[in-house]
A and B are shown apart, each in its own frame.
Chain A
Amino acid sequence: MSKEVVIVDGIRTPFCKIGGALKGVSAYNLGKVVVRELLERTELPAQEVDELVVGNFLQTLDATNVARAIARKAGIPPEIPAYTVQRYGGSGMQAITSAFLSIRNGNIATAIAAGAESISNYPLLFQDRFSDWYEQYQAAPGWLGRMRQLSRFSLSALKPAPAVETTMLDYVDRKSIGESSEVWANRHHINREAQDQYAALSHRRAVLAVESGLIADEVAPVFPQGEKTAVLNDDSIRRGQAFDVIKDMPPLFDADFGRVTAGNSAPLCDGAASLLLMTASRARTLGMSPLATIRGFAYVGVAPSDTAIGPAFAAVRALENANMSFSDIQLCELHESTSAVVLANEQVFANKDFVEATFGKSSVLGAIPRNRLNVNGGAISLGHSFGASGVRMVMSLMREMDRRNRSTGLAMMAIAGGQAGAIVLERR
């Protein structure tokens, strides 16, 4: 007998660009803030939590299985287990679905699903060239051998390789999600201006959300060590005429023909987010009023070159799992890895021929009106924090469903290396 799983509430830290206000705060400290604050705001005693699941893209070297560190720091008693999951940028979404499965199957009744990422604290790696050289130096016989090896040393081998550049690529074609969306944009003639316009829209919406207090509601302050005040605000949102600034930015990947720029793709950020999940009956016993029920989810794999349109495939599968049709969906979040990803999926969703050809039935998807998609901005304006983004997106969707009094919602994201995930929510 599978249980109905609800999300009671969620919270996040501000998302701040790499090297920004949160640069000194490690992933476990960010995670601690959202888990502890979630417990405080929902007034749930820590010992009532059965498990903590944390999505984290690149393991924190001084706290691998960062979930356990977060649990201890947040005051969750040591008897309660915690584990960490990784699915690239979908790590946060994975945390939600892993916790969801455990609860639905009746293994546990309450869980916190969180995501935390401190990209600022990623290590700098040595290049292979250097480690090879060092290995040979260590193995060199006698001082003469060492001297010989020393003479082969070249300073350029010391150039560090930031982990952030090398870790987020597909295993085979070594492309990040940004690059693969560029490939897609080129192939399907999504022009630069449309991409920049979409990015500007994301910023306008985020500014509105900030002004109406929506963001402040979902953000917990972070107090970095050595600072005199709290960090309260996302720092990627562009106020004023965002388009005018974005339109002149140089391409990121292909200097001559590229269309994906820093302006129309998601800035990498430090941040964390958390959701409180439990069975519906547990929520009733505790007198909590959940914001949403998880109806279903799906992950799919696609050819790495099709990564950008993965969300369409994931959406179809997730809706199928949830026993719902696309026409039921009233609100959508589609992760803004780049403008190109959003625009590509908009095209695919609305392209009846393509949908029919691919899925055998044209009604499984349909056009998503812009006024139902990413209505409070997304990763382009708010920032993208690998482990935390999936959680943040589901939380935004759930809160907006509540605010607009919508009963169904769909959250989707493309995941680097040819994957995508989608979650279907319902509000009862």
Chain B
Amino acid sequence: MPAAFQAEFADKGILKIVFDYQERSVNLLNEATLTELDGLITELADSAEIRAAYVVSGKADNFCAGAEVAEIRKISSQEDAFKKSRIGQQLFQRWSQLPFPTLLVIDGSCMGGATEWALASTFRFCGDRREVGIGLPEIKLGVIPGWGGSVRLPNLIGLRNALKMILTGDAVTGPKAYRMGLVDKLVPASILDDSALRFLRDILENGDKKVLQRRRQVRGRRGFLETSIIGRNLVQRRAYKEVSKRTRLEYPAPFEAIKTVKFGRENDLEDALMYEARKFAVLAASKVSRNLVRTWFLIDRSRKMRGVGNEVREAAKTPIEKVGIFGAGTVGGAIAVMCGEADIPVRLKDVQHDPLAKTIERARDRFQERIAGRKLSEREAELKADRISPTTDDSGFSRVDLLIEATQEDAGIKEDALHSGDRLTPEKTIVATTSSTYGVDALARHVRQPHLFAGIHLPTPVNNNPIVEIVKGVNTSPQTLATLFQLALNWKKFPIVVKDKPGYLVNRLLMPYLSEAMTILSSGVQVEHIDLAMQQFGFEQGPLRFLDEMGLDIAMRIFNAVQKEYPARFPENETLFAMLNYQRAGRKSGKGFYEYHPYKKPAVRRKLYKELQIKSNKHMPVLEIQERLLYVMINEAAYCLQEGIVPHSEDVDLASIFSIGFPPFHGGLLGYADSEGIEKIAGRLRIFAESLDERQRYLPSPYLIRMVESGKLFYSRQMPQPSEVPQNL
């Protein structure tokens, strides 16, 4: 195995270490590289020739992605976590105590453990490229930086900056890192290597006065809040309050992070590191962190196209250089905006100008937000919006690589659109429909090449739902699926390939959940009570509020489509009818289950119960509400797996977290089901079936019964194959 670290003298006494981990496309700190680094440090410490050393990365846009997440996942207990934290801490401690100055040259992304390494170095440089990002994303995995980062960062960049970096987990850009004193120099990328050498020579000849002076200057700018004990206490209290407001108590990491930072400021290094390791251990071994790590792997799995089968993953993807869209309605418009954002030119056709204007306006608004968030400059945002080229005629489609049919849900219109698509686009163009009512296979006879035809479904809310469902028809080719999958990734979405059946995946999961909420409502339980029960479970919004946001008319349409296919499990939903009868279509119409006013909090009025003819005096235990809503959803997920809507439980979990708002700290719907126990779930469902009307709705699915009989779990049935184990960060 070639070494990950190559050291050679770049000049007399100045050692250059190149970090290039051959096994992966990015550098990682895992058992192998850490052991090697350990050996290297020992060697360096013994050498008499070395007067200074600097580290660069051998990868193009990456310095090091930090600790390997798979190793975090392997943590078995608190003791194990503590040990791992101590090993890293001691390693970097030894690095910081080398008898000569060290310099880390960061010209790419530098995350987690790597940032902690940088903090333990004497000096840090970074390149001025856009690819440079320095961050401590541990909080996103439910832990805190555990290799000395929680202690060293505040010492270097001050309390407020450090807390912000650790609590948000967001990376900072090169210029920002320089401003806050995280790096000592910001250097044009092209001369990084040379200037690192020159810098070290200068240090050896003239000492480090200048650098320390700058650090003092930056520190001096921080003022009273940072320099005095009272100020620091104020900052900490503020941070605690802020975090309490934003974070649910289920996530302990932010609170522990604040405590660790505080402890680090008040105690000496060794004690602080010990404290950090203990805190890290408790968090890393907790269920919450495990579930967040799981969620991370779900995302990673989607990004790397695992779980779609080899045939699709390895299929040749058509590069999408131009997209054509028919129909600038909600869905067509949303797709146009996503394409613009991904810098893909779009020809957007509609029969009228108004929806085109609306789409362009929406794109401008969206990119304006990104300007406000400093993600884009004004001109860059403008250029993205300019990628959307609106038209009411047929021109501009002769060179599209992908045509998306997003016209109204009307058989005749769709048929015409697909025919004219065939006429206007070249042979090789992939065609996709966004129809949720007419399936891909039903429409496939109107396209000339069914193997180049598939569906794209954006679950509601279409404009910011992270999930994109890619609908596979009987004839859809792997190349077509792979191309659309990649496109969805370019849109920064998580694609899921689903089978062509009404409701696909997301709506299949959503409908039983939402209609069960309405059933409980009509049995006399109050709206707030139902919503609160689910919020207590961890959902951001209760199901009825979710319905309001989604729009009840849209819910009705989806419900009807699903009902037609599965009438036994989805009987007529009278509440939904009644709601629409009273013009309660949800937030957009001013009232749904709640009533909305521009300046008031949404509230439920008595009139709602009168209109729905509900007494609203029944009490139902919170646990029962949670069980009914979640278990019918789990049951439906089992049906989906049985029908092969999606092949893997991971797909269901990804969809449940990102499209339905299932709390990630529970680890996804089916991960949660496993931890609850399949037998318990099936048993409760049977009890519901016996005690409630419409027993068909609750009966456990054959799939679930089989699982109980064979004693299997959603995740044991398909223990990840070695090749399927996601590996790096």
A binds B: yes
- Enumerate chain A interface residues (CB-CB to B < 8 A): 32, 36-37, 40-41, 43, 45, 72-75, 221, 223, 225-230, 232
Bound CA span A311–B356, Å = 42
Say yes or no for B574: interface residue by CB 8 A criterion.
no
Q: Is the CB of A73 within 8 A of B383?
A: yes
Bound CA span A223–B328, Å = 14
Going nearest first, the 3 A-B pairs with the smallest beta carbon separation are A40-B396, A230-B353, A43-B398
With A43-B395, A45-B399, A225-B364 known as contacts, the answer to whether A73 contacts B354 (CB < 8 A) is no
With A225-B361, A225-B364, A230-B357 known as contacts, the answer to whether A41 contacts B345 (CB < 8 A) is no
Looking at B357, B383, B391, the one whose CB has the most chain A CB atoms below 10 A away is B357
Q: Is the CB of B387 within 8 A of A223?
A: no
With A228-B354, A228-B358 known as contacts, the answer to whether A36 contacts B386 (CB < 8 A) is yes
Query: Which of B347, B383, B396 is the one whose CB lies under 8 Å from A72?
Result: B383
Q: Is the CB of A221 within 8 A of B390?
A: yes
Smallest distance from the beta carbon of A255 to chain B beta carbons, Å?
A: 43
With A223-B390, A225-B364 known as contacts, the answer to whether A43 contacts B383 (CB < 8 A) is no
Say yes or no for B382: interface residue by CB 8 A criterion.
yes
The tally of residues in B whose CB lies under 8 Å from a CB in A reads 23
Binding site secondary structure of chain A: loop
Say yes or no for B573: interface residue by CB 8 A criterion.
no
Smallest distance from the beta carbon of A60 to chain B beta carbons, Å?
A: 13
Please give, as numbers and ranges, the residues of chain A lying within 8 Å of B398 by CB-CB distance.
Answer: 43
Q: Is the CB of A40 within 8 A of B353?
A: no
Please give, as numbers and ranges, the residues of chain A lying within 8 Å of B356 by CB-CB distance.
Answer: 221, 223, 230
Looking at B386, B393, B395, B399, the one whose CB has the most chain A CB atoms below 10 A away is B386
Smallest distance from the beta carbon of B347 to chain A beta carbons, Å?
A: 6
Please give, as numbers and ranges, the residues of chain B lying within 8 Å of A37 by CB-CB distance.
Answer: 389, 391
Not counting A75-B389, A228-B354, a sample of 20 additional A-B residue pairs whose C-beta atoms are within 8 angstroms of each other reads A36-B386, A37-B389, A40-B391, A41-B395, A41-B396, A43-B398, A43-B399, A72-B383, A74-B386, A75-B345, A75-B387, A221-B390, A223-B353, A223-B356, A223-B390, A225-B364, A226-B361, A228-B357, A228-B361, A232-B353
Smallest distance from the beta carbon of A104 to chain B beta carbons, Å?
A: 28
Bound CA span A226–B385, Å = 13
Please give, as numbers and ranges, the residues of chain B lying within 8 Å of A40 by CB-CB distance.
Answer: 347, 389, 391, 395-396
Smallest distance from the beta carbon of B359 to chain A beta carbons, Å?
A: 9
Bound CA span A45–B322, Å = 11
Smallest distance from the beta carbon of B724 to chain A beta carbons, Å?
A: 41
The interface bits of chain B over 349-366 (1 if a CB of A lies within 8 angstroms of the residue's CB, else 0) are 000011011101100100
Smallest distance from the beta carbon of A337 to chain B beta carbons, Å?
A: 32
Query: Which of A41, A45, A73, A228 is the one whose CB lies under 8 Å from B386?
Result: A73
The number of inter-chain residue pairs (CB within 8 angstroms) is: 55
Bound CA span A131–B399, Å = 54
Please give, as numbers and ranges, the residues of chain A lying within 8 Å of B357 by CB-CB distance.
Answer: 223, 227-230
Please give, as numbers and ranges, the residues of chain A lying within 8 Å of B387 by CB-CB distance.
Answer: 75
Smallest distance from the beta carbon of A30 to chain B beta carbons, Å?
A: 12
Please give, as numbers and ranges, the residues of chain B lying within 8 Å of A72 by CB-CB distance.
Answer: 383
With A40-B395, A43-B396 known as contacts, the answer to whether A223 contacts B360 (CB < 8 A) is yes
Looking at A32, A40, A45, A228, the one whose CB has the most chain B CB atoms below 10 A away is A40
Can you offer 14 A-B residue contacts whose CB atoms are under 8 A? A37-B391, A40-B389, A40-B395, A40-B396, A45-B399, A73-B383, A73-B386, A223-B353, A228-B354, A228-B357, A228-B358, A229-B354, A230-B354, A232-B353
Smallest distance from the beta carbon of B604 to chain A beta carbons, Å?
A: 33
Smallest distance from the beta carbon of A304 to chain B beta carbons, Å?
A: 41
Q: CB-nearest residue of chain B relative to A232?
A: B353
Bound CA span A43–B393, Å = 13
Q: CB-nearest residue of chain A relative to B394?
A: A41
Q: CB-nearest residue of chain A relative to B354?
A: A229
Please give, as numbers and ranges, the residues of chain B lying within 8 Å of A221 by CB-CB distance.
Answer: 353, 356, 390, 392
Q: Is the CB of A36 within 8 A of B364?
A: no
Q: CB-nearest residue of chain B relative to A63?
A: B379
Bound CA span A32–B385, Å = 12
Bound CA span A226–B391, Å = 18
Bound CA span A32–B386, Å = 8
Smallest distance from the beta carbon of B559 to chain A beta carbons, Å?
A: 32
Q: Is the CB of A75 within 8 A of B386?
A: yes
